[in-house]
Amino acid sequence: MHPVGERALSRRVARRLGYWRRTARTQWCLRRNFTSHGPRGAIFGAVRFLVDGTAIVGEHFVVEGYDAKVSIKVAEAASLLIGDDVFLNGGVSIEAWREVRIGSNVLMAPYASIIDDDRHEMEPGARRDKGPVIVGDNVWLGRNVAVLPGVRIGDGSVIGANSVVSRDIPAGCFAAGAPARVIRNLDRSADWVRR
């Protein structure tokens, strides 16, 4: 065989092997860490999954931890439910100490974080548990967004970069700021899907 043809063949073989290695790693990570998972997931780069409770992910769950490690922690007796077609970018952090629900078609930009427990009392006797964190379908969390305990984000909403979501956000709106507030309603059809 001609040397150029050999190099082309070896590149194709290397690409195919890389695909199968990634697929095997993804399936191993999903089987090892999640109670239930859908097909066609993909995990790239650095990830840290510490799952002691119940964690369920849907179809086409994609994690890209190239630039920074993606971290998911589910405490004992806690639950994390993630819908279909969810994308987590580098540096994303999700901590479920009680209950976190993330809908389908959700995009989480770099360094976005969700936590459902204050972890420490602000003052003696203060309540740490403020209820579950619920992120609706077709939501986009911008870069460095922090979603705090007890918050509900409605379907189709977009949260602007560097926002702190400390109270509920209605469906179909753009919210930003610290604390996040509604800036405007979004004009979109009911059957539109975020990609």
Please give the Cα distance from 135 to 155 (Å, whole number).
8
Please give the Cα distance from 153 to 130 (Å, whole number).
15
Please give the Cα distance from 108 to 72 (Å, whole number).
13
DSSP string, 130-193: ---EEE-TT-EE-TT-EEPTT-EE-TT-EE-TT-EE-S-B-TTEEEETTTTEEEEE----TT--
R_g over Cα of the chain: 19
Residue 2 known to be catalytic: no
Q: Are 137 and 104 in contact, with CB atoms under 8 Å apart?
A: yes
Look at the block and give the residue holding tokens 């290695």. Answer: 21
Closest CA to 62 of 80, 37, 36, 44: 44
Give the residue numbers marked as catalytic. 120
